[in-house]
Structure 1
Amino acid sequence: MLSLQNAGKRFGPRVLFTEANWLIRSKEKTALVGANGTGKSTLMKVLAGLESLDYGTMQLTRGMSIGYLPQEGLRLSGRTVFDECLSVFDELRAMEGEIEQTAAQLSELDHASPEYEAAAERYSMLQERFHALDGYALDAQVGSVLTGLGFGKEDWSRQVDEFSGGWQMRIALAKLLLAKPNLLLLDEPTNHLDLETRNWLEDYLHNYPFGYILISHDRYFLDVTIDRTVEIWNKRLTIFQGNYTKYLSQKDERRAQLNASYKNQRDQIEHLEAFINRFRAQATKAKQVQSRIKELEKIERIEIPEEEPIIHFKFPQPPPSGRNVVEAEGLAKSYGEKQVFSNARFTIERGDRVALVGVNGAGKSTLIKLLSGVEKPTSGIVKLGHNVLSEYFAQDQYKVLDGDSRMLDDMSRAAMKVPESELRSLLGCFLFSGDDVFKPLGVLSGGERNRYALARILVSPSNFLLLDEPTNHLDMRAKDVLLEAIAAFSGTVVFVSHDRYFIDRLATRVIEVENGVINTYPGNYEDYLRKKEELAAAATAATPSPKPVFAQAQARSEVSTTPTRIGTIVIEGGPDGSNGVRDGRIRRLNPIKQKQMEERCVFLEEEIPRVEASIATTEEQLGVYISAAETQRLSDLAAELRSQLASLTTEWEDLTLQLEGQSANS
């Protein structure tokens, strides 16, 4: 399909990659990974034909089409959103026009004339090709993709010029998906997408009929969309089979092998050099010395590039707050006639890590502004608890920075007790290294200043952090530092993020803003999705829709294939919550999803005994009286562990039943 042979590319005097050999086959779903600055985006541009190689060759299959989405910088104008997306079908629409013209000719020509026969043959050929290319469903295709990418029907007739840069990138992505090139090249496609839209894009890519290559800093997105990983490391391309998690495991193994090979080679070189130095002056050993010198010259030296240091950063722990950090009563917010939400009631307690979720425009940023005091509610109250000190990180936090201050000086003033070496390590993790730390903040781009503003908050936090999309503009390494720091933070955090991995690892509660209503769910994002599915299934079961006799008969003879999402697993089932079971028949799971369920089962089978052991230990400790407070603490802990055990056991039983059903059906 497409291949690179001994390919190399320089950026000025620096070699990005060399001796790259890569065969990209049809329908392969690949992630391109590597540290910042290794040349991932440059290689994408080479594959797209926008840049040339400095060495080697690139070959494409004749007639192959390639679609490329850059990280940013696209600007569209002059058409409505719907017409802009329809423009990818210009060839089909021209064919449709020719079909209409040919039909008009046929109505006027003599049926016995040779012209009629030629026009009829042309009309038949055009009709067949138009039908094969699904030309009669163009509007439906455009509507489906625009809806999936978050455009409401009222947006379809708006001019593309009216949309911000992030929404313009969504339009560009929609055009690429509709065009269905043989190879999709997507550089950070999730940058401007919310969680719901990312979920839709994951499903779309699962069913994409051709191949694609992704660059992304979203681990979960990569794990569920790719089956091979190509890494740029040590100026070479290395190919790994499997998703991102498997790549990390294989990379550690390869690194260990490379280190072992490097050590063996160093031992060999030192042995040869020792022989040469020992016998160089002896005429009787001249032949052996020359032989060793030639052997030494032929050795291709193994290089171990310096790894980026792993940064472990901990927040300076803030003073404790009272137990109740925020209490909201009857909270409502409107902008003119637009009601964002109303009658919201919730409490956030000390130590909670709360993820705010909902589609773009639902009111997540509005809610976090109300909690921070930046905006006032239309009605209701937001009451902060005892000794609560809040700090708010906005999406445009860079606007409040002093543009004349140098980065390191400004950081040092914010954290006078933190050593400069530690501050520079933290800035390096957020992609500011070398002389960057001496730049005035005013010369940084908006994204760079936001990254800096987030790093600045880490060194002097209050006990109540409100973070609006802190993971924007961060690579995986910086996200890991942020995640680890917040997980170890003793204060309270409310955050908005579109990174599924980040939310799943961090959140202890989820607050959903949807259709003007605010609901609270315990657990992380996966727990939230599971609860939403349970509620939807219960609502469907409580209000069954009547079916005509024919539809009932058809339902008995066919199994619905509507996907029902449960956490990270998609189970093929019907909207009635039957998980694909009707009249004793079971819909086979996708092997990938079945594997995920099996792995979850193995985890639960290991976790349940651990929880049982913790319960036994806690009950044993309860038998020894120390103090009333300690007895109460142990009693609460035992109750919490029993509740956890019941939840894990129920989940294990449900998964086991589903997997047993799959085995019986196979």
Structure 2
Amino acid sequence: MLQLADAGKRFGPKLLFEHANWLITAGERTALVGANGTGKSTLLKTLAALDSLDYGNLQRTRGMSIGYLPQDGLSLSGRTVFDECLSVFDELRSIEQELETLAASLAELDPDSGAYGTAAERYSNLSARFHAHDGYALDAQVGAVLAGLGFSKEDWARRTEEFSGGWQMRIALSKLLLQKPNLLLLDEPTNHLDLETRNWLEEYLRGYPNGYILISHDRYFLDVTVNKIVEIWNKGLHFYSGNYEKYLQQKEERRTQLEAAYRNQREHIEHLEAFISRFRYQATKAKQVQSRIKELEKIERIEIPQEEQAIHFTFPQPPASGRTVVEVSNLSKSYGEKQVLRNVSFTIERGDRIALVGANGAGKSTLIRMLSALEGPTSGVLRLGHNVLPDYFAQDQYKVLDPGARMLEDIGRIAQRVPETDLRSLLGCFLFSGDDVFKPLGVLSGGERNRYALARILVSPANFLLLDEPTNHLDLRAKDVLLDAVNKFTGTVIFVSHDRYFIDRLATRVFEVEGGHVHVFPGNYEDYLWRKEGGAVTTTAAPAVAVVEETPAAVVIQTAEKEKVRRVNPIRLRQMQERLAFVEEEIPRVEASIVETEHSLGIFVSVEETERLSRLLESLREQHGLLTTDWEELMLQVEEQQVSS
């Protein structure tokens, strides 16, 4: 289909890659990875024929169609969303119109005439082509893709120019998916998608009939959509079979082998050099010395390119808060006649890692702003616990930064006890290196300033972090730094993120914001999906009560007849094992909390305190029952998988 032969590309004076050879086949399911600045996006543009090679050749099969989605920058106007997407089928719509014209002609022509035969043959050919491309379901195809990418039916009739940049990219992605080119080239397709639309895109790509190559900083997305990794490393292309997780394993194995070969070669070279040095001036050894000199000259030296240094940044740990961080009772929020939240109640405890999930516009950002005291509720009570110090990271956090402040000086004022070398390493993780750290913040783009604002929070955190989309604009390395730091953080975190891997590795509970209510699920996003898809039945308290801590009363349904064990994929099995380990650690913690709360109930302080402790005790018992059910179900599933494997 598409072939790179001895290809090379420069960006200014910098050589990105050389001697690159890559045969791209019809069933390609490939991720393009590499450190920042290695040329991933440039290579993708080159494959799309939007950029040229400096060396070598790019050959394409005649008639091959390629669809390319850049990271951003596309802008559409002049039509409604639906008509814009329907425009990809202009050729089929022309065929449909011609079929209608031919049908009318056939009704009028003499069946025995030559004109009738010609028209009938043309009609038959066009009809077969129209059917082959599912021409009678064009509207349904457009509707399915638009719905999958998060457009409501009301949006379909809106003009494309009414939508922001992120939604413009969704429209462009919709058109590409409807076109179904032979090869899709997608540069960060998940950048502007929420969790629900990412999940839909994952399923769509699994069933995509042609090939695709994509760049993404979403590790989970890569794990479930590709079966090959191409890495730009050391100015060359390196190929790995399997998904991103297998690539990491294979890369480590390759580096270990390379280091072993390097050591062996160095020992051999040192041995040759020692022999030459020792016997260089002895006539009786002249022939042997010359032989070893020639051997030494022929050796192709193994080089081990320097890897990006792994950065492990640890939060300066904050002062401890009280055990209860936030209590919310019958909270409601309205904007004019629009009610976003109603009668919401829940409790957040010290050490919780809570992921807020829900469709766009459901109220996630509204809730997190109220928890940070930037907005007040319309009604109800939101109470912070003892010594709780909140800090809020907004999607547009860059707006509160001083544009005249220089980056290194600004972060140094906040983190006076952190050495400058550590600060520069941290900034390097967030893609600020060299002279970038001396730039005034005002010259940075919005995305760059948001990245800096997140690094700024890391060096001086409060004990209650509220993070709204912290993973936006971060590459895989920066996400790993953030994830590692938050996992070691001793405070409490509530966050919104569209990165599945980030949520699964961090969340201990999931708060789903839907229909004005908040439903609480224990565990990470994988556990949340399992329950939503019928892994367990959840019952929700009536709106009048709305005690969300009581919401997830899970009941596992088992049939009398034992069903055949269903094999799960290795990723899901590993997640089940990790979840089991978490539950086994969490049950004793909850049991200890129950004992502590029962003891506190025995000491009368006030009626209000007794009522609060009673609600907390009931919630803890519900949580303990749910965790116990989880443990039993997970133990059974893991054991069945191990026995059947």
Write the distance in 2 (CA, Å) between the matches of 1:534 and 1:161.
Answer: 40
Instruction: Kindly indicate whether the alpha-carbon contact (under 8 Å) linking 1:611 and 1:641 is maintained by their aligned counterparts in 2.
Output: no
Counterpart-to-counterpart distance in 1, 2:578 and 2:327: 37
Go from structure 1 to structure 2 and tell me whether the alpha carbon gap of 1:405 and 1:245 turns closer, same or farther (over 3 Å shift): same
**Structure 1 residue 104: deviation in Å?**
2.1
**Aligned mates of 1:642, 1:583 — CA distance in 2:** 25
Structure 1 position 530, deviation (Å)? 2.3
Residue 108 of structure 2 is matched in structure 1 by 108
d(CA) in 2 for partners of 1:538 and 1:304? 54
Q: In the TM superposition, what are the counterparts of 1:336-485 in structure 2 within 5 Å? A: 336-485=336-485
Contact 1:351-1:490 within 8 A present in 2 as well: yes
Q: Following TM superposition, by how much is the alpha carbon of 1:297 offset from its aligned partner in structure 2, in angstroms?
A: 3.1
Contact kept? 2:530, 2:536, Cα under 8 Å? no
Distance 1:175 1:165 in 2: 16
Q: Which amino acid aligns with 1:652?
A: M
- What residue in structure 2 maps to residue 649 of structure 1? 632
Match of 1:26 in 2: 26
- Measure the CA separation in 2 of the matches of 1:515 and 1:26: 44
CA distance in 2, matches of 1:148, 1:438: 44
Shift of 1:518: 1.3
Equivalents in 2 of 1:345, 1:129: separation in Å?
A: 58
User: Given the superposition, is the C-alpha separation of residues 240 and 339 from structure 1 closer, same or farther in structure 2, using an over 3 Å criterion?
Assistant: same
**How far does residue 582 in structure 1 lie from its aligned partner after superposition?**
13
Counterpart contact for 1:601–1:652, Cα < 8 Å: no
TM-aligned CA deviation for residue 408 of structure 1: 0.3
Deviation at 1:213, TM superposition (A): 1.0
2:158 corresponds to: 158
| Mapping for residues 499-578 of structure 1, pairs under 5 Å | 499-534=499-534
Cα distance, 1:643 vs structure 2? 7.9
Taking the aligned partners of 2:41 and 2:152, their CA distance within structure 1 comes to 32
Helix, strand or coil for the counterpart of 1:422?
helix
- Alpha-carbon distance, 1:11 to partner: 1.4
Cα pair 2:182 2:211 within 8 Å, conserved = yes
535 and 278 in structure 1: CA distance in 2 versus 1, 3 angstrom threshold:
closer
Q: C-alpha offsets along residues 404-443 of structure 1, whole Å, 9 cap, x if unaligned?
A: 1110000100111111111111111111111111111111
Superposition deviation, residue 265 in structure 1: 2.1
Identify if the C-alpha distance between structure 1 residues 260 and 214 changes in structure 2 by more than 3 Å, giving closer, same or farther: same
Aligned amino acid, residue 62 of structure 1 = R
TM-score, length basis structure 2: 0.87
The alignment partner of 1:348 has SS state of: strand
Does structure 1 retain, via aligned residues, the 8 Å contact 2:241–2:247?
Answer: yes
Q: Secondary structure at the match of 2:473?
A: coil
Instruction: Give distance in 2, aligned partners of 1:406 and 1:111.
Output: 84
- The CA deviation at 1:603 is 7.3
Q: Could you tell me which amino acid in structure 2 is paired with residue 248 of structure 1?
A: L
CA shift digits 1:195-241 (9 cap, x unpaired): 11111111111111111111111111111111111111111211111
Number of residue pairs aligned between Structure 1 and Structure 2: 603
Deviation at 1:117, TM superposition (A): 1.0
Structure 2 counterpart of 1:137, which letter? A
**CA pair 386-498 structure 1, distance change in 2 beyond 3 A:** same
The offset of 1:365, in angstroms, is: 0.7
Quote the offset at 1:325 in angstroms.
1.3
Post-superposition Cα deviations, 1:576-621, rounded to whole Å, max 9, x if no partner, equal: x999x999997x96x7x455566667779x969x959x99xx99xx
SS of 1:467 mapped into structure 2: strand
Relative to structure 1, is the Cα distance of residues 642 and 100 closer, same or farther in structure 2, using a 3 angstrom cutoff? closer
Residue 644 of structure 1 and its aligned partner are, at CA, apart by 5.5
1: distance between equivalents of 2:103 and 2:111?
13
> How far has the Cα of 1:509 moved from its partner?
1.4
- Is 1:73 matched up with 2:73? yes
Give the counterpart letter for 1:271 in structure 2: H
| Cα pair distance change 1:642/1:113, threshold 3 Å | closer
- Residue 231 of structure 1 aligns to a residue in which SS? strand
**DSSP-derived class of the 1:367 partner:** helix
Q: Name the counterpart of 2:302.
A: 302
TM-score by length of 1: 0.84
In the TM superposition, what whole-angstrom CA distance separates every residue of 1:464-495 from its partner, at most 9, and x where no partner exists? 11110000011111111111111111111111
Q: Hey, what does 2:552 align to over in structure 1?
A: none
Aligned partner letter, 2:360: N
SS of residue paired to 2:19: strand
Q: Which amino acid aligns with 2:164?
A: S
C-alpha distance in structure 2 between counterparts of 1:536 and 1:272, whole Å? 68
State the AA in 2 paired with 1:532.
K
Sort the Cα spacing of 1:272 and 1:656 in 2 relative to 1 into closer, same or farther, 3 A. closer
Query: What SS does the corresponding residue of 2:376 show, helix, strand or coil?
Result: coil
Work out whether 1:11 is the aligned partner of 2:11.
yes
Residue number in structure 2 paired with 1:2: 2
Partner of 1:83: 83
Identify unmatched segments of 5+ residues in structure 1. 540-576, 620-627, 630-636
For 1:370, the aligned partner's letter is: M
Say whether residues 1:315 and 2:339 are aligned partners: no
* C-alpha spacing 1:339/1:449, structure 2 compared with 1 (3 Å): same
Residue 195 of structure 1 contacts residue 498 of structure 1 at CA under 8 Å; is this kept in 2?
yes
Q: Distance in 2 between matches of 1:2 and 1:257?
A: 31
**Aligned residues: percent identity?**
69
Q: Residues 531-561 of structure 1: CA distance to partner in whole angstroms, max 9, x if unpaired?
A: 333488678xxxxxxxxxxxxxxxxxxxxxx
Q: Does 1:489 align with 2:482?
A: no
User: Structure 1: which amino acid aligns with 2:148?
Assistant: G
Distance 1:336 1:643 in 2: 38
Can you give the 5+ residue segments of structure 2 that lack an aligned partner in the other structure? 540-555, 593-598, 601-619
Tell me if structure 1 keeps the 8 A contact 2:584–2:631: no
- Cα 1:15–1:171 shift into 2, 3 Å: same
Q: In 2, are the aligned partners of 1:601 and 1:656 still within 8 Å (CA)?
A: no
Aligned-pair CA distance for 1:298: 2.7
CA RMSD of aligned residues (A): 3.2
Q: Is the CA contact 1:326–1:348 (under 8 Å) kept in the aligned structure 2?
A: yes
Structure 1 CA distance for aligned equivalents of residues 535 and 633 of structure 2:
17
**CA shift for structure 1 position 92:** 0.7
Taking a change above 3 Å as real, the CA distance of residues 578 and 83 of structure 1, as seen in their structure-2 partners, is farther
Q: 2:183 aligns to what?
A: 183
